[in-house]
Amino acid sequence: MHLDVQWIVGFVDGEGCFHVGINPHPEMTAGFQVLPEFTVVQHQRDVSVLHALKSHFGCGVVLQEPRGPDGLPGGGLDHLRDRIVPFFVKHPLKTSKNVDFHKFRDVVLLMGERVHLTSEGIGEIRRIAATMNRGRSR
Amino acid sequence: MHLDVQWIVGFVDGEGCFHVGINPHPEMTAGFQVLPEFTVVQHQRDVSVLHALKSHFGCGVVLQEPRGPDGLPGGGLDHLRDRIVPFFVKHPLKTSKNVDFHKFRDVVLLMGERVHLTSEGIGEIRRIAATMNRGRSR
């Protein structure tokens, strides 16, 4: 299945999610693990679309939860920084999801500078993450 | 806001809904009113996208429910037949929503032939509508 670039932007405007998880993790220097995730969830019947997205970006994993919807996590930090983020910088989302994307991008770039390995960095990322998605003013 | 054709397809693959309502209506010849609806629902913060879609198709109404999401109903039968249906025939949806669209199209075309004004026609439309969306095998 060929996916047009603008189809991808429209579909992600509808179905995509940019999320930054911050979880306690005793083995990390600052005590927390930062997990930026780009996900697209679809019902099993449309798993072919997720495989086409994975193929387009050259990264990601198509997951199948038991009896649940399938998801396409966007991959590790390198993939997010080198493939996902540049795509949505070049082809901007049209909904307010673009606001979340830019915060997501900020976190990914901070992580590239290893800022998340310090307590101050975790605090900064936490402040950004708190204003994303449901934390965003509506 | 300019909307690329493929962005619209991707966005509707994610957020659009093709639905055929069949409601008892004593004033209709066959006792039922058939209401095909194409809707796109967005939070108030993204109402500009709905206005851009309305502008693109040259039809539809942007509705605002009290404190609820906004919707863009696709308009009357003529608009559905002349604007919405041809668009998604020319630019096919990529998800299984395309299956619903084609059933929706069948109903719109049947209504154009005034088939819905007979009991047999209502029965035929009811059979089609029952297999759409949640009624579709998954």
B16 falls within a domain = no
Q: Per CB distance under 8 Å, which residues of B are interface residues toward A?
A: 1, 3-15, 42-46, 49, 52, 94-96, 138
Q: Are strands B16-24 and A70-71 parallel, antiparallel or unpaired?
A: unpaired
Q: What is the pLDDT of residue B72?
A: 66
CA distances from B127 to A81, A125, B1, B119, B135 (A): 49, 53, 39, 12, 10
What is the average pLDDT across A47-64?
89
* Same domain? B41 vs B76: yes
CATH number at residue B85: 3.10.28.10
Q: What is the pLDDT of residue A85?
A: 96
A47 pLDDT more than 80: yes
A136 pLDDT more than 80: no
What is the average pLDDT across A74-89?
90
From chain B, pick out residues whose CB is under 8 angstroms from the CB of A12.
10, 14
Q: What is the pLDDT of residue A73?
A: 66
Q: Per CB distance under 8 Å, which residues of A are interface residues toward B?
A: 1, 3-15, 42-46, 49, 52, 94-96, 138
Instruction: Provide the shortest C-alpha distance from residue B32 to chain A (in Å).
Output: 33
* Same domain? B45 vs B87: yes
* Same domain? B1 vs B64: yes
B124 falls within a domain = yes
CB B49 to CB A94 under 8 A? yes
B67 pLDDT more than 70: no
From chain B, pick out residues whose CB is under 8 angstroms from the CB of A133.
none
> Among partner residues B1, B9, B44, which is closest to A10 by beta-carbon distance?
B9
A78 pLDDT more than 80: yes
* Same domain? B85 vs B113: no
How many domains does the structure of chain B reveal? 2
* Same domain? B50 vs B86: yes
User: Residue A134 — very low, low, confident or very high, per pLDDT cuts 50/70/90?
Assistant: confident
Residue B67 CB contacts under 8 Å (≥ 6 apart), including other chains: none
B86 falls within a domain = yes
A36 pLDDT more than 80: yes
Task: Count other C-beta atoms under 10 Å from residue B124's C-beta.
Answer: 16
Look over chain A and give the mean of its residue pLDDT values, rounded to a whole number: 90
* Same domain? B2 vs B57: yes
> Among partner residues B1, B6, B12, which is closest to A94 by beta-carbon distance?
B1
B14 falls within a domain = no
Look over chain B and give the mean of its residue pLDDT values, rounded to a whole number: 90
B55 falls within a domain = yes
What is the average pLDDT across B99-128?
94
* Same domain? B84 vs B57: yes
- A-B C-beta contacts closer than 8 Å: 79
B24 falls within a domain = no
The full DSSP string for A64-132 is E-TTS-EE----SHHHIIIIIHHHHHHS--SSTHHHHHHHHHHHHHHHHTTGGGSHHHHHHHHHHHHTS
B31 falls within a domain = no
B29 or A13: which leads in pLDDT: A13
From chain B, pick out residues whose CB is under 8 angstroms from the CB of A9.
4, 7, 10
* Same domain? B79 vs B100: no
**Token match 């060929």: residue?**
A2
Question: Which regions of B1-138 does DSSP assign to beta strands (E)?
Answer: 16-24, 32-42, 63-64, 70-71
Q: What is the pLDDT of residue B137?
A: 57
Q: What is the pLDDT of residue A7?
A: 98
* Same domain? B66 vs B41: yes
B21 falls within a domain = no
* Same domain? B2 vs B50: yes
* Same domain? B108 vs B119: yes
ipTM attached to this prediction: 0.88
Asked whether the beta carbons of B53 and B99 are under 8 A apart, the reply is no
**What is the percent of chain B where pLDDT is above 90?**
70
B70 pLDDT more than 80: no
User: Residue A138 — very low, low, confident or very high, per pLDDT cuts 50/70/90?
Assistant: very low
CB B10 to CB A9 under 8 A? yes
* Same domain? B68 vs B128: no
Q: What is the pLDDT of residue B138?
A: 43
| Domain range for A45 | 5-134
